[in-house]
Structure formats: structure tokens, C-alpha cells
């Protein structure tokens, strides 16, 4: 890690005005791009930023610290019953929040399963959504991959055990955020602040960027913009949700596959609406639209839950070493759908 300056931001607007590049831009080494050594970058919890600096992937001239800005912290319920979660709210605070655990259970569960207790007490929601992918080729200074301005993706011919099985053409990263999977299932929006003070809200589904649209970044955050909050729309009383994941270890590990399910059941048990989002299997949280359509208007039972699990695999293009994610996903979706509907699991099923 090289020497750098440190500056404490006094307001979000000041931080936005100071920052010259996004982290993704600072990692680019294409001819003609600004030197990463001249970048001024923003730091919140610092979990990912300090990792990248220690690995020699970014060497900013200055870090602008926003971690003490009170207006970016906390969870509040607005007049229309929507929820605003400040970007500096920690994952531990989200996991423990009584209101979220009741109205947005899948989000609280996803936050509780991220990383380790130590990291959850430091990592912020905004930083978690904006962190760079954990692909070992992207994280290696010795590999000049596509995402850093190089010529090709090393994962296709290399070790791709943990890479994407959806939308993996050209670049096979998976999005690393567990809360993002649940947030998309709740149709969340992100609030972005421009240096001139203008704010805009963007649906989370539109915020993330697939490699086919832009090979060098995971989201549409522009240089000088600050992610200030996440907004959750009001939930109706009949909504039920759950987040499930499977990993090689129960703690301090990245999921191999994950799913967030939100269903709205009427008094007769019919599913009025379903939202099924897959995690750790695509460059962005992945909507399982065919599975959602299959459940909408149907009675949820073992048969429809199993069919939803199979439908969630539509469009998958596994690589040489990660086809094992297919049965994992199908099983996770089936279990999550039954659990969200509060139905017992079939002990004979895998």
C-alpha cells in the first residue's frame, strides 16, 4: 500500500464534490484513462477499499472519509410507510432491526449471513452494494483481465468454480452482495447524490450493470456521485419473505448460491405476486422471471415449489467447473418458496 492523504468529509455534498473517480474507474489501466495514482476516492466502512489498496489494485492520492456523516446513518419509516436505510447503516444494524425483521425478513436474514460478526459491525450497506467482485483474477495484480482494461477473461479457461452461470458471456464475475439479492426482491431503490446537490432515485434493478452493457463496472454510479440511501417501498400485510443461501462454510464465507423470495398470498392461499431473486450466480442479482410467473396465480405446494425451482434455471449457461450450482439453486428456490408460504418441507426431497 502506498502513501495517501486522508480527508474527513463534512457533508455528503462535499464528499461528492471532492471525489474524482469511482473505484471501478480507478482500477482501469486502459490507455488514455486517468492515472489511478491521481484519484480521489470515497471511503465508508473501508472493508473493500482497504483490501484493494493492500492488493495494489488502487493507489489513490486521497481518501475522503464519509463514515462520520450522521445523515447517512440509520433506518427510518416515512409517512407513506416506506423505509429509508442510510448508506452508512451497518449490516449488523440491519440484521438486528426489529422492524425490518418483521416487515422485510429476507433483508435482515441476508445481512445476518454476510461475512463475519466483526465485518458486519463495520461494513455499511452502501459499501456492500458498491464493493467490487471477488473474482480472484480481478483481485490479482498479476492478471490484467477484461474488467481492468485487459484483453480477456481468465475465468473461462481457468478456475471458474465460483463464477457466474447466468449472463456470463465475456465476463463471468458474480455480484458479491448478499443484501442486494433481498433488496431487489423487495423492489428497492437507491438514492444518489450529485456534487451540485441534486438527488435521484434509481430502481436497484436499473442500478446494476451487466457485462454486456459495460465490461468495466457493476453499476451506473458516476464519478462524483455518492450513494446516500436505499429506499424500500411499503409492504402489504400479506407479504412473506425469506432469504436462503448455501456456502462451503456456515460463517465468514461467500455463498455458492443464494435466493430471496417474496410472495403475497391471499386468504385462499393463492399467490398474487412473487419475486424470486438469485444471488452468487450472475454479474448482478438475477431475477428468476419464469419462476415468478409460474407461481403467480397458483397455489403454493410441493409440486409448484419444485416446478419454480426448475424454472429458475432457465437461461443458465454453466462453465466447465460450476454446473454444480444448478441443483443447488433448484433446491434453494424450492425450499425458499415453501418456507415463505409457511409450508413444511418434504423430507423425501433433496
The whole-angstrom separation of Cα 211 and Cα 285 is: 13
Q: Quick check: helix, strand or coil at residue 329?
A: helix
Q: Is residue 43 part of a domain?
A: yes
Residue 75 backbone zone (phi > 0: left; psi -120 to 50: alpha; other: beta): beta
Name the residue with higher pLDDT: 176 or 346.
176
Residue 108: partners with Cβ closer than 8 Å, 6 or more residues away: 94, 95, 96, 97, 100, 101
Q: How confident is the model at residue 252 (pLDDT cuts 50, 70, 90)?
A: confident
Q: Is residue 267 part of a domain?
A: yes
* Whether residue 207 is found in the same domain as residue 282: no
- Cβ-based neighbour number of residue 58 at 10 Å: 26
Note the pLDDT tens digit of each residue in 259-281. 999 999 998 889 999 999 999 99
Q: Quick check: helix, strand or coil at residue 30?
A: coil
Q: How many domains does the chain have?
A: 3
Least Cα distance to 108 among 250, 232, 251 occurs for: 232
* Whether residue 23 is found in the same domain as residue 122: no
**CA dihedral of residues 187, 188, 193, 199 (deg, nearest 10):** 60
Q: For residues 42-50, give the mean pLDDT.
A: 95
What values do phi and psi take at 130, rounded to 5?
Answer: -100, -5
Q: For residues 299-305, give the mean pLDDT.
A: 96
Counting residues of the chain whose pLDDT is more than 70, the rounded percentage is: 95
Q: Give the per-residue pLDDT at 347.
A: 44
Q: Give the per-residue pLDDT at 344.
A: 64
Average pLDDT along the chain = 93
Which CATH number fits the domain that encloses residue 21? 3.30.43
The whole-angstrom separation of Cα 60 and Cα 21 is: 10
Predicted structure pTM score: 0.95
Q: Give the per-residue pLDDT at 348.
A: 40
Q: How confident is the model at residue 37 (pLDDT cuts 50, 70, 90)?
A: low
Note the pLDDT tens digit of each residue in 64-117. 999 999 999 999 999 888 999 999 999 999 999 999 999 999 999 999 999 999
Task: Say if residue 182's pLDDT is above 90.
Answer: yes
Q: Tell me which residue range forms the domain holding 39.
A: 5-67
Are the C-beta atoms of residues 231 and 83 closer than 8 Å to each other? yes
* Whether residue 89 is found in the same domain as residue 210: yes
Amino acid at each position: 500500500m502506498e502513501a495517501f492523504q486522508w480527508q474527513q468529509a463534512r457533508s455528503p455534498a462535499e464528499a461528492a464534490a471532492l471525489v474524482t473517480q469511482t473505484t471501478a474507474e480507478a482500477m482501469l489501466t486502459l490507455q488514455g484513462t486517468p492515472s489511478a495514482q491521481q484519484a480521489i476516492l470515497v471511503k465508508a466502512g473501508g472493508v473493500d477499499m482497504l483490501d484493494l489498496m493492500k492488493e495494489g489494485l488502487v493507489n489513490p492520492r486521497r481518501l475522503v472519509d464519509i463514515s462520520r456523516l450522521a445523515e447517512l446513518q440509520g433506518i427510518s419509516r416515512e409517512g407513506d410507510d416506506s423505509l429509508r436505510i442510510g448508506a452508512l447503516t451497518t449490516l449488523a444494524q440491519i440484521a438486528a432491526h426489529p422492524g425490518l425483521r418483521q416487515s422485510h425478513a429476507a433483508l435482515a436474514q441476508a445481512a445476518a449471513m454476510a461475512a463475519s460478526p466483526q465485518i458486519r459491525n463495520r461494513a455499511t450497506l452502501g459499501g456492500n452494494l458498491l464493493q467490487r467482485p471477488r473474482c480472484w483474477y480481478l483481485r490479482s495484480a498479476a492478471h490484467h483481465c477484461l474488467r481492468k482494461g485487459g484483453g480477456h477473461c481468465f475465468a473461462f479457461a481457468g478456475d471458474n468454480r465460483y463464477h457466474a452461470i447466468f449472463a456470463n458471456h465475456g465476463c463471468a464475475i458474480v455480484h458479491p452482495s448478499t443484501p442486494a439479492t433481498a433488496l431487489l426482491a423487495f423492489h428497492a431503490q437507491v438514492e444518489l447524490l450529485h456534487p451540485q446537490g441534486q438527488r435521484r432515485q434509481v430502481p436497484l434493478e436499473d442500478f446494476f450493470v451487466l457485462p454486456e452493457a459495460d465490461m468495466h463496472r457493476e453499476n451506473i454510479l458516476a464519478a462524483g456521485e455518492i450513494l446516500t440511501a436505499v429506499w424500500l417501498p411499503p409492504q402489504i400485510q400479506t407479504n412473506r419473505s425469506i432469504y436462503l443461501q448455501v456456502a462451503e462454510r456456515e460463517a465468514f464465507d461467500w455463498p455458492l448460491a443464494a435466493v430471496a423470495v417474496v410472495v403475497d398470498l391471499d386468504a385462499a392461499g393463492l399467490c398474487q405476486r412473487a419475486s424470486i431473486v438469485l444471488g452468487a450466480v450472475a454479474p448482478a442479482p438475477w431475477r428468476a422471471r419464469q419462476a415468478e410467473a409460474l407461481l403467480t396465480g397458483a397455489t403454493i405446494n410441493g409440486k409448484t415449489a419444485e416446478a419454480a425451482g426448475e424454472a429458475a434455471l432457465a437461461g443458465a449457461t454453466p462453465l466447465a467447473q460450476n454446473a454444480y450450482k444448478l441443483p443447488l439453486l433448484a433446491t434453494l428456490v424450492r425450499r425458499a418458496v415453501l418456507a415463505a408460504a409457511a409450508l413444511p418441507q418434504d423430507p423425501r426431497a433433496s
